């Protein structure tokens, strides 16, 4: 991990597979011949990544590690790394000696968080999943193999062909910073509610469709660039602006189409009054139009994308 520094980690979500969460999927691969009883304790570890520039001085790199244990629970962790070394090269970074230690650290942090959160919530891990704590090096080679393929056969060409769009940052001096500091938490709290937290919504369905509109890793990157104090100014690249426009469009639709009651806890946590909510919806509309500029926003049927549990009963 030469020249690459660990910054911080975030728990993106933690889910429990039980009767109280009927909408959640449990897509853990089951080997042929396994019975229903054998499935409990089977572990699945997934890994993905994203990266974006630190102005012109370096790069952020984000590892997304998801752990699922059949008939039990799942967790997703975002581990943030950065580098501003003048000789840093993505071609060298995406080699086993450099990438494997980063993925190993990210996965181990996810495993540790998973165990601690389970213990905190009083959930006993299945007895036959103890190997999850000490994965073999072969597993990391397997986890990173897909990263190598994605980078060299897809992501590298995309990033290289549009690197200027990633490097060009747009400021958002549209409102006073105090307005954005409350508007952005509202936007992403509402979205997190319908995607992860609020049991009134069919979260699995909503994620399946929403993350086909905005890539899941890009959503997290945009979210933290918008609400994390580590990013003191609101500077977004070309693709961030497109995703932000879509997020604003979705939230405006949700808040204006008879779903306000479902977000009462969000408004309470953010200490937003009814009068302030009207103001923030208006601000969101202005910001969406400013972000949109002369581009045409693709038409999204948000009523089909974001559904309530009752819609499936």
Say whether pTM exceeds 0.85: no
Please tell me the predicted confidence (pLDDT) of residue 298.
74
Distance separating alpha carbons of residues 11 and 92, to the nearest angstrom: 29
Please tell me the predicted confidence (pLDDT) of residue 39.
59
Q: Does 233 have pLDDT greater than 70?
A: no
Summarised one tens digit per residue, pLDDT across range 271-293 is 999 999 998 999 899 888 887 77
Contact 147, 94 (CB under 8 A): yes
208's tokens: 């399946």
Strand, coil or helix: 239: helix
Please tell me the predicted confidence (pLDDT) of residue 164.
56
pLDDT band at 82 (very low <50, low <70, confident <90, very high): confident
Question: What are the extents of the domains in the chain?
Answer: 5-164, 169-312
Summarised one tens digit per residue, pLDDT across range 38-66 is 655 567 788 888 877 776 667 888 888 88
Residue with the bigger pLDDT between 179 and 155: it is 179
Output the average pLDDT for the chain.
78
Q: Does 130 have pLDDT greater than 50?
A: no
Please tell me the predicted confidence (pLDDT) of residue 174.
47
What contacts 262, CB < 8 A, 6 or more positions away?
193, 198, 200, 201, 308
Q: Does 67 have pLDDT greater than 90?
A: no
- Tell how many helices (H) and how many strands (E) occur in the chain: 13, 6
The DSSP bridge partners found for residue 53 are: 59
Distance separating alpha carbons of residues 94 and 92, to the nearest angstrom: 5
Residue with the bigger pLDDT between 110 and 151: it is 110
**Class level of CATH domain 5-164:** alpha beta
């Amino acid at each position: 991990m030469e020249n690459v520094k660990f910054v911080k980690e975030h728990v993106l979500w933690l889910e429990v597979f039980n009767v109280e969460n009927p909408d959640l999927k449990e897509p853990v691969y089951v080997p042929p011949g396994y019975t229903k009883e054998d499935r409990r304790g089977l572990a699945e570890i997934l890994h993905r990544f994203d990266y974006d520039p630190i102005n012109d001085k370096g790069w952020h790199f984000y590892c997304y590690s998801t752990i699922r244990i059949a008939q039990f629970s799942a967790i997703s962790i975002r581990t943030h790394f950065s580098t501003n070394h003048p000789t840093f090269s993505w071609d060298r970074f995406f080699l086993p000696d450099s990438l494997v230690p980063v993925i190993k650290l990210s996965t181990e942090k996810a495993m540790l968080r998973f165990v601690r959160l389970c213990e905190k919530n009083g959930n006993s891990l299945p007895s036959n999943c103890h190997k999850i704590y000490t994965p073999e090096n072969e597993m990391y080679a397997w986890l990173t193999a897909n990263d190598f393929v994605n980078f060299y056969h897809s992501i590298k060409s995309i990033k290289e062909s549009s690197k200027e769009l990633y490097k060009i940052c747009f400021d958002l001096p549209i409102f006073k910073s105090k307005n954005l500091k409350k508007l952005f938490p509202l936007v992403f709290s509402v979205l997190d509610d319908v995607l992860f937290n609020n049991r009134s919504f069919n979260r699995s369905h909503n994620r399946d469709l929403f993350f086909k509109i905005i890539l899941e890793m890009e959503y997290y990157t945009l979210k933290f660039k918008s609400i994390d104090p580590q990013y003191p100014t609101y500077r977004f690249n070309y693709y961030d602006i497109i995703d932000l426009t879509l997020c604003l469009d979705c939230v405006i639709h949700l808040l204006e189409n008879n779903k306000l009651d479902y977000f009462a806890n969000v408004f309470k946590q953010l200490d937003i009054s009814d009068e302030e909510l009207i103001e923030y919806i208006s601000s969101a509309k202005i910001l969406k139009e400013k972000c949109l500029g002369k581009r045409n926003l693709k038409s999204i049927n948000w009523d089909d994308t974001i559904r309530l549990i009752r819609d499936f009963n």
